[in-house]
C-alpha cells in the first residue's frame, strides 16, 4: 500500500511540474512569429513579404480593373547579421493602385496620413522599434532582432486566382545591397548583405546622425518623470529662399499622450473629450482636465503673437512669439528659428522616466509659403544647451529626436502665387495662367483652358472686376472672346513683370506685387532666379536688391524700411539688366504664364558659332564667305559683315564648260 501511495505521489508531482511548464508557455499572449527557415542561410538582413488574403469590396463592378479588393499581408525584417541595423527602412513596390489603410509597427516615411495612396510603392520605417539589434547581443530574442508589419488596405484590378503581389521589396538603408527577391505565388524574400564597396561614414554618434534639410525640427526632452516629461521643439529654416508665415505644426500621438500645458505656442483647439472618455481619465482620476491644453491625438500648434513674448506664463522664451514667421537666413538669421515648450502626460504602460516616445507624422505649413514634405522622426544624439548658470558648461537633453522637411515644387494648379507679363512694346497684358493656383468646384461655369489678354489698367483690379474690361478690350482688338469666359487664377498674390526698356547692352524691368488676400505679409521678399545673366544685374530702385551669385544668380528683393508690409498693392521696383527665369514670393515658387513661353520665345537673344556662307552664280558655286561667331540681341538689329574673294577667270571657265557639255548632250 505504501509503495502504491509513493508511486501515486510521484506521478502527481511529475504531472504538476508539466502543468506548470505548460502554463508558463501559454502565458505569452503575443508570441513573436518564428523566423522563416530560409533565414538560416542569411548573414545579413532578411526581408519577406507574404500575401495573406483579400475580399471583394463594395461596389461590385463588372469592370475588373476598377473592382476594389480589401487585402491583408505581412512584411518582416530580421537582423540575421552581427551589426545593429539603425533606423531600418524597407521599400514595398506596390503596383496595383493600392491604398494603404493600416501598417502596424511602422510608419510611412514620406509622412502621408493613412489611408494613403501607395500605388507607386512606399517606404516604411520602424516604430516604435526603430533599431534591430543582433542575435549575439540579445541571446536570439526575436522581439529585439525582428519586426513584423501587418498591412491592410485596398487594391484594384487583379481578380482570383491571381495574387496582387508587389513589384519588388528591398532594404533601403545605406551600406547594404539586395539581390532580386525570390518569388512564389504569395511570397517573396531576399537576403540583403553589407556592401563592401559602399563608403558609409563611420558613425561617431550614439544614435542616427543629424541630417540637413530645408527645414529641420528638433524634439528635445528637457525633464523626465515617471508619468510626464517636459519637451522643447526647435524649428530651423535652413533654405536661403524658404519661408513660413503663420506656421501650423501638426503631429500624431501614438501612445495616448496629451499636452497639459505649453509655452511659446498654443493649440488651435482645446479639446479634452478624448481624455475624459478615454484611458487618461482612468489613470488620472484626480486631474482637473479643464486646465489641460488639449487631448487631441492630432493637435494643430501655432506660434504666439508678438504681444505675448514677455508673458511669464505662456511666453518668455527666446525665438518665440513671432506670429509664426520664419524668415530665410539671408534675410534675418535670428528670425529663422522658432522655439516652444510643452508638458506631456503619459499613460500606462509607459510609467518610467526612460519610456519616452515622440509624436509621429509631423507636418508643417504656412499661409502662402512653399509646401514642405517631412520625413520620419529619428532618434539622434542628445542636444547640447548652454548651462543656465552662466558658466562655460553645456547641459545635455534627456533624449533628442530630429525631423527633416524639404521643399517640394508645386504641381500644375497647386501654386499659391502667379506671374503676369507686360512690356513696353505691347499694349496688352498677359495675365496669370487660368487656374494657376487651382480652380474651385464650380469651374464648370467657366473655361479652365482659355485665356484672354487684358488692357494695362485691368491688371490693377481683382479678377471679378476685370472681366468686363477684358471682353471690351478683346472686341476692340478684334480678338476672339472665349465662351464660357476664362476661370480666375485663384492666387492670393500675383507678381507683374513689366519689361520697361530694351537695349543692345541691357534692359530693365519693373516688378509690381499684388496682395489679393486679407492676410498681411510682414518682411516680404521676392526672389528672381536667373540662369546666366545674373552677373549683368546693376541695381534696383524702390526695393532693396541683392545679387546672390551662389544661388543660380538670384536677385533677392525686399521692401525698404517702412515699406516692408504688403497690405494691398505694393509700389513697383525697377530692375536693370536682368531677364526672369524663376520667380519666388516668400519662398513659394510662382506659376509663370504659359502664353509667354509659347508666343514670345522670339524675345530672347540668339548666339551662333563660326560658320560659312556659300555664294553661287546661276547655280554655280563661286566662293565661300567665313562668318565669325556673334550674338544677336533680343528684338534688336544686327549687321553681319564679311570679305570674299571671287576668282572671275575660274568662274568663267566653269560656265563655258557647262555650256559645252549641254551642247554635247
CATH code (residue 73): 2.60.40.290
The closest alpha carbon to 527, from 568, 578, 478, 569, belongs to 578
Angle, vertex CA 132, rays to CA 130 and CA 138, nearest 5: 135
Residues of the chain with pLDDT > 90, as a percent, come to: 37
Residue 209 falls inside a structural domain = no
Domain match, 592 and 564 both: yes
What is the C-alpha to C-alpha distance for residues 490 and 150, in angstroms, rounded to an integer? Answer: 42
Q: What is the pLDDT of residue 276?
A: 93
Tell me the C-alpha distance between 340 and 318, whole Å. 9
What is the average pLDDT value for the chain, to the nearest integer?
81
Residue 203 predicted with pLDDT over 60: no
Q: Mind listing the pLDDT tens digit for each residue in 236-250?
A: 999 888 889 899 999
- Continuous H helices in 440-590: 463-476
pLDDT of residue 646: 63
- Residue 225's pLDDT band, with cuts at 50, 70 and 90, is very high
Same domain, 244 and 357: yes
Please tell me the predicted confidence (pLDDT) of residue 192: 94
- What is the predicted pLDDT for the residue at 647? 64
Is residue 663 over pLDDT 60? no
Task: Please check whether residue 578 lies inside any domain of the structure.
Answer: yes
Asked if 296 contacts 260 with a C-beta cutoff of 8 angstroms, the reply is no
Question: Which of 547, 566, 599 is where one domain is finished?
Answer: 599
Residue 198 is predicted with a pLDDT of 73
Handedness of CA 264, 236, 570, 515 (dihedral sign): negative
**Range in 81-85, 219-223, 431-435, 602-606 the model is least confident about:** 602-606
Tens digit of pLDDT for each residue in 154-167? 999 887 778 889 99
Distance of alpha carbon 321 from alpha carbon 338, whole angstroms:
8
pLDDT at 479 exceeding the cut of 60: yes
Same domain, 139 and 65: yes
- Asked if residue 377 is part of any domain, the answer here is yes
Predicted confidence at residue 512, as pLDDT, reads 86
Give the per-residue pLDDT at 221: 96
Among the three residues 165, 194, 223, which one is the final residue of a domain in this structure?
194
63 or 665, which is more confident?
Answer: 63
User: What's the pLDDT tens digit per position in 278-329?
Assistant: 999 999 999 999 999 999 999 999 999 999 999 999 999 999 999 898 998 8
Range of the domain at 139: 37-194
pLDDT per residue over 62-113, tens digit each? Answer: 888 889 999 999 999 999 999 899 889 999 999 999 999 999 988 887 656 7
Mean pLDDT of the 578-605 span: 56
Q: Which of these ranges, 13-27, 71-85, 527-541, 568-582, has the smallest mean pLDDT? A: 13-27
Considering the domain architecture, whether residues 230 and 170 belong to the same structural domain is answered as: no
260 and 182: one domain?
Answer: no
> Which residue would you say has higher pLDDT here, 483 or 582?
483
Same domain, 250 and 316: yes
| Domains of the chain: total | 4
Per the domain annotation, does 100 fall within a domain?
yes
Do 569 and 421 fall into the same domain?
A: yes
Per DSSP, 643 falls in state -
Inside any domain, residue 23: no
- Angle formed at CA 568 by CA 489 and CA 417, multiple of 5 degrees: 30
Q: What is the DSSP string of 112-146?
A: PPSSEE-TT-EEEEESS---B--HHHHTT-HHHHE
- In which order are the strands placed within the sheet that holds 300-303? 265-267, 300-303, 248-252, 360-365
- pLDDT-based confidence at residue 366 (cuts at 50, 70, 90): confident
Residue 253 resides in a domain: yes
Q: How confident is the model at residue 179 (pLDDT cuts 50, 70, 90)?
A: very high
* DSSP label at residue 43: S
What local confidence, expressed as pLDDT, does residue 160 receive?
76
* Dist. CA 648–CA 45, nearest whole Å: 84
Residue where a domain terminates, one of 571, 599, 627: 599
What string of DSSP letters covers 456-482? GGGGGS-HHHHHHHHHHHHHHTTPPPP
Verify that 78 and 167 share a domain, yes or no: yes
Write down the pLDDT at residue 228: 96
Q: Are residues 387 and 437 in the same domain?
A: no
pLDDT of residue 200: 56
Residues 368 and 501 in one domain: no
pLDDT at 377: 87
Cα–Cα distance measured from residue 341 to residue 321, given in angstroms and rounded to the nearest whole number: 12
Asked if residue 652 and residue 532 are part of one domain, the reply reads: no
Residue 141 has pLDDT above 80, yes or no: yes
Q: Is residue 314 assigned to a domain?
A: yes
Span 201-216, average pLDDT: 76
Q: Which pLDDT belongs to residue 152?
A: 95
Report yes or no on 2 lying in a domain: no
Q: State the average pLDDT over residues 422-446.
A: 82
Is the per-residue pLDDT at 619 higher than 70?
no
Owner of C-alpha cell 552662466 = 390
Tell me what pLDDT residue 598 has. 42
Residue 664: pLDDT over 60: no
Q: Are 469 and 454 in contact (CB under 8 A)?
A: yes
Which stretches does DSSP call E strand in 2-98? 45-56, 68-79, 89-92
The structure's pTM equals 0.69
Query: Helix %, strand %, coil % for the chain, to 5?
Result: 15, 35, 50
Please check whether residues 366 and 225 belong to one and the same domain.
yes
Amino acid at each position: 500500500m505504501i509503495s502504491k501511495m509513493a508511486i501515486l505521489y510521484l506521478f502527481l508531482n511529475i504531472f504538476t511540474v508539466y502543468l506548470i511548464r505548460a502554463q508558463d508557455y501559454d502565458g505569452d499572449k503575443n508570441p513573436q512569429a518564428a523566423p522563416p527557415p530560409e533565414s538560416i542561410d542569411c548573414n545579413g538582413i532578411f526581408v519577406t513579404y507574404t500575401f495573406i488574403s483579400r475580399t471583394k469590396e463594395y461596389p461590385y463592378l463588372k469592370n475588373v480593373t476598377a473592382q476594389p479588393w480589401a487585402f491583408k499581408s505581412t512584411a518582416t525584417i530580421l537582423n540575421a547579421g552581427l551589426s545593429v541595423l539603425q533606423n531600418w527602412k524597407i521599400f514595398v513596390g506596390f503596383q496595383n493602385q493600392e491604398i494603404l489603410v493600416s501598417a502596424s509597427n511602422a510608419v510611412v516615411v514620406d509622412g502621408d496620413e493613412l489611408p494613403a495612396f501607395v500605388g507607386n510603392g512606399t517606404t516604411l520605417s520602424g516604430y516604435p522599434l526603430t533599431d534591430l539589434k543582433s542575435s549575439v547581443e540579445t541571446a536570439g530574442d526575436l522581439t529585439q532582432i525582428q519586426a513584423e508589419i501587418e498591412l491592410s488596405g485596398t487594391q484594384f484590378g487583379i481578380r482570383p486566382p491571381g495574387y496582387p503581389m508587389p513589384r519588388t521589396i528591398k532594404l533601403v538603408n545605406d551600406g547594404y545591397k539586395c539581390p532580386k527577391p525570390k518569388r512564389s505565388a504569395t511570397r517573396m524574400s531576399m537576403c540583403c548583405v553589407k556592401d563592401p564597396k559602399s563608403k558609409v561614414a563611420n558613425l561617431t554618434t550614439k544614435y542616427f546622425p543629424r541630417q540637413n534639410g530645408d527645414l529641420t525640427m528638433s524634439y528635445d526632452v528637457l525633464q523626465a518623470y515617471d508619468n510626464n516629461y517636459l519637451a522643447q521643439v526647435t524649428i530651423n529654416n535652413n533654405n536661403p529662399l524658404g519661408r513660413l508665415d503663420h506656421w501650423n505644426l501638426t503631429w500624431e500621438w501614438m501612445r495616448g499622450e496629451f499636452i497639459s500645458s505649453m509655452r511659446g505656442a498654443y493649440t488651435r483647439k482645446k479639446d479634452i473629450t478624448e481624455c475624459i472618455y478615454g484611458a487618461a481619465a482612468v489613470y488620472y482620476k484626480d486631474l482637473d482636465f479643464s486646465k489641460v491644453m488639449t487631448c487631441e491625438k492630432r493637435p494643430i500648434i501655432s506660434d504666439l503673437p508678438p504681444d505675448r513674448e514677455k508673458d511669464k506664463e505662456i511666453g518668455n522664451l527666446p525665438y518665440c512669439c513671432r506670429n509664426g514667421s520664419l524668415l530665410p537666413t539671408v534675410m534675418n538669421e535670428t528670425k529663422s528659428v522658432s522655439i516652444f515648450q510643452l508638458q506631456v502626460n503619459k499613460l500606462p504602460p509607459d510609467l518610467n522616466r526612460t519610456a519616452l516616445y515622440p509624436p509621429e507624422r509631423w507636418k508643417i505649413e504656412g499661409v502662402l509659403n512653399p509646401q514642405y514634405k517631412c520625413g520620419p522622426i529619428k532618434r539622434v544624439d542628445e542636444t547640447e544647451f548652454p548651462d543656465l548658470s552662466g558658466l562655460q558648461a553645456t547641459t545635455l537633453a534627456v533624449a533628442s529626436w530630429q525631423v527633416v522637411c524639404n521643399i517640394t515644387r508645386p504641381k500644375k494648379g497647386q501654386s499659391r502665387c502667379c506671374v503676369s507679363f507686360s512690356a513696353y512694346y505691347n499694349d496688352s497684358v498677359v495675365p496669370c495662367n487660368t487656374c494657376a493656383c487651382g480652380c474651385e468646384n464650380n469651374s464648370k461655369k467657366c473655361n479652365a483652358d482659355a485665356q484672354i489678354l487684358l488692357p494695362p489698367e485691368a491688371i490693377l483690379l481683382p479678377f471679378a472686376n476685370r472681366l468686363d474690361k477684358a471682353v471690351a478690350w478683346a472686341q476692340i482688338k478684334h480678338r476672339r472672346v472665349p465662351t464660357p469666359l476664362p476661370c480666375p487664377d485663384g492666387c492670393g498674390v500675383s507678381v507683374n513683370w513689366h519689361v520697361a526698356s530694351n537695349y543692345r547692352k541691357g534692359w530693365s524691368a519693373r516688378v509690381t506685387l499684388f496682395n489679393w488676400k486679407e492676410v498681411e505679409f510682414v518682411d516680404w521678399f521676392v526672389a528672381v532666379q536667373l540662369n546666366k545673366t545674373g552677373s549683368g544685374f546693376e541695381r534696383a530702385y524702390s526695393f532693396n536688391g541683392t545679387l546672390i551669385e551662389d544661388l543660380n544668380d538670384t536677385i533677392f528683393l525686399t521692401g525698404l524700411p517702412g515699406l516692408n508690409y504688403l497690405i494691398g498693392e505694393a509700389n513697383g521696383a525697377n530692375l536693370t539688366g536682368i531677364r526672369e527665369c524663376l520667380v519666388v514670393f516668400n519662398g513659394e515658387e510662382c506659376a509663370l504664364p504659359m502664353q509667354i513661353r509659347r508666343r514670345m520665345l522670339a524675345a530672347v537673344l540668339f548666339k551662333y558659332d563660326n560658320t560659312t556662307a556659300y555664294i553661287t552664280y546661276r547655280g554655280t558655286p563661286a566662293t565661300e564667305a567665313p562668318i565669325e561667331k556673334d550674338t544677336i540681341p533680343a528684338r534688336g538689329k544686327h549687321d553681319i559683315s564679311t570679305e570674299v574673294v571671287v576668282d572671275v577667270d575660274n568662274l568663267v571657265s566653269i560656265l563655258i564648260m557647262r555650256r559645252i557639255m549641254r551642247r554635247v548632250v
